[in-house]
Amino acid sequence: MKVFAAVLMSCMLIASCALAGDGLVRLQSKNSVTGTAQNLEKVLQAKGLHIFARIDHQKGAVSVGKKLRPTEIFIFGNPKAGTPLMQCRQTIAIDLPQKMLIYEDEQGKTWIVYNDPAYLASRHGLGDCGAKVIQKISGILSAVSSAAAGK
145 close to 25: Cβ distance less than 8 angstroms: yes
The verdict on residue 4 lying in a domain is: no
The order of strands in the sheet holding 98-104 is 24-29, 110-115, 98-104, 71-77, 50-56
Q: Which residues constitute the domain of residue 120?
A: 24-149
The verdict on residue 9 lying in a domain is: no
The verdict on residue 17 lying in a domain is: no
Rounded distance between C-alpha atoms, residue 49 and residue 150, angstroms = 19
Rounded distance between C-alpha atoms, residue 96 and residue 75, angstroms = 9
Cis before 97 (ω within 30) = yes
- Average pLDDT per run of 10 along the chain, which is 151 residues long? 38 37 95 98 97 98 98 96 96 97 98 98 96 96 97 86
pTM (two decimals) = 0.84
Residue 93 sits in a domain whose CATH number is 3.30.310.70
The verdict on residue 19 lying in a domain is: no
The whole-number pLDDT of residue 21 equals 77
Number of domains in the chain: 1
